[in-house]
Amino acid sequence: MKNKNISQLQAVFFIIQTQISIGLLALPHMLMKRAGSDGWISILLSGVLIQVTISLYMILFFRFPKLTFYEMLEKMFGKYVGKALQLIYICYFMLNCVLILSVFSRILDIWVLPLTPNWVISLMIVFGSVYIAKEPIQAIARFSFVLTPIMVGLSLPLIYTLGDADISYILPIFQGDVRDIFWASQDMFVSVNGFESMLIIAPLVKGTVRQRYKIMTIANLFTTFYYLYITVTCFVIFSPEEINIIPEPVLYLLKTVSFRVIERTDLIFLTFWFVTVFATLANVFYLASTGAAKLFGKQDHKWFVYILSAIVFMLSISATRTDQSVHVVDQVSRIADFIFVYLFPVIVALIAFMMKKGGRHAL
C-alpha cells in the first residue's frame, strides 16, 4: 500500500485545486451584493469557520485513522444505512460536477465561444477531466501539484491594475450591517468547498493523523488569502455600483490589462483556467468514483469514472439550457454543500466522540 500513498505537499495541492474553481470569478460580485464594501471581511470570517469545521473533522480522523469517509459511514451506521449514505454522497459529488461543468461552459459560451453549442464545450471539459480522473491518486495529485502554481501565476496581472486603486471604495470598515457580513460568508462557503476531500483521501496521505490537520490548515490559509487578494483587488478598482452590475468582475478587470505584445489578457486567463477546471472536475470525479467503487465492492475506480462522467454530462446539458436552470442547480448545490460538508460530517464526528465509536489513535 505504501506505493499508493501521496505526500503531504501533494495532498495540500489536491485540496487547493479542488477548492479553487469557477466560484472565484463571480465571488466579488456576490459578496458586494450581500455585504457591500465589507464583503471582503466575510472571506476572513468564513476562513475561521472553516477552520473550526476542520478541527471537528479531526475527531473522525482520530477515531478512524485508516478509513475513508465512505468506510466510516458503514462502520458507524451499519451496512445498509451506511451504503445508502455512501450513495447520497456520491450523488452530492456528482451534483458538484454538474455545477462546475454547467457554470464554466456558460462562461466560455459568453466570453470565448458564443457560436459553439454548450454541449460541445461541456464534452471537451468532460473528456479532459476523465482522462485525469481515471488515473491513480498519485497521478491526479501530481497534476494538481503542477497546476496550482500556474493558477497563482494567472492572477499576477491583477497587481498591474493596482496603480488605479482607490482605497476609499472599501472605507470605512464595518460601514454596513454585521449580519450582512455573516450571511455573505455563505457565498464564500460555497466557493471554497473542497477541503472535505481530505475525508476521502486521508488514508492515502503519508504521515500521522495530526499532520492531516496541518495539511488542511495550510490549504485553508492559502485559499482564504488567495480569495482575499482577488476580492480586495476588485473592490479597490471597481466602485461598489460597478461591481453590483458586473457578474464576473475578475474577467472584466483582466480585460482592462494589456501589454505591448499581449491583448485581451482575460482570454489568456480563461485559456489556462480551462485546464485548472479540468483538474478540479477530475478531483471531484475521483471522489465520487472511489465512493462508487466502495459501494459496489470494487477495487478499481476507473470504470466508475466513465459511468459517472456520462451521467454528469447528460445532466449538465439540461442544466445549461437556460440561465434559470443553472441558477436552480446553483441553489440546490448551496443547500447540499451546507448539509454534506458542514452539518452532517460534524454530526457524525460528534456521534463518534460521544458514543466512542471507532478507536483511539496516537497523535
Q: How far apart are CA 199 and CA 281, in angstroms?
A: 17
Q: Tell me if residue 7 falls in helix, strand or coil.
A: coil
DSSP designation for 155: T
Average pLDDT over residues 156-184: 85
106, part of any domain: yes
Does the pLDDT at position 217 exceed 90? yes
338, part of any domain: yes
Does the pLDDT at position 59 exceed 70? yes
pLDDT at 198: 95
pLDDT at 48: 93
pTM: 0.92
- Name the region of 78 (left: φ>0; alpha: ψ -120 to 50; beta: rest): left
Contact 277, 122 (CB under 8 A): no
203, part of any domain: yes
362, part of any domain: no
Does the pLDDT at position 235 exceed 60? yes
21, part of any domain: yes
10 Å Cβ neighbour count for 318? Answer: 12
Does the pLDDT at position 360 exceed 80? no
Of 60, 44, 47, nearest to 344 by C-alpha is 60
Query: Given pLDDT bands bounded at 50, 70 and 90, which one contains residue 75?
Result: very high
Number of H-type helices and E-type strands within the chain? 17, 0
Q: How far apart are CA 286 and CA 297, in angstroms?
A: 16
- Sole residue written with cell 503531504: 8
- What does the longest C-alpha to C-alpha distance in the chain come to? 65
Phi, psi for 304 (deg, rounded to 5) = -70, -30
Q: How far apart are CA 161 and CA 53, in angstroms?
A: 35
363, part of any domain: no
Give how many domains the chain has, as a whole number: 1
Regarding predicted confidence, which is higher, 58 or 23?
58
Domain, as residue range, for 309: 2-354
Regarding predicted confidence, which is higher, 186 or 180?
180
Summarised one tens digit per residue, pLDDT across range 112-144 is 888 888 889 899 999 999 999 999 999 999 999
Summarised one tens digit per residue, pLDDT across range 244-273 is 898 888 888 887 776 666 667 777 778 778
29, part of any domain: yes
Average pLDDT over residues 311-316: 94
CA of residue 120 relative to chain centroid, distance: 24
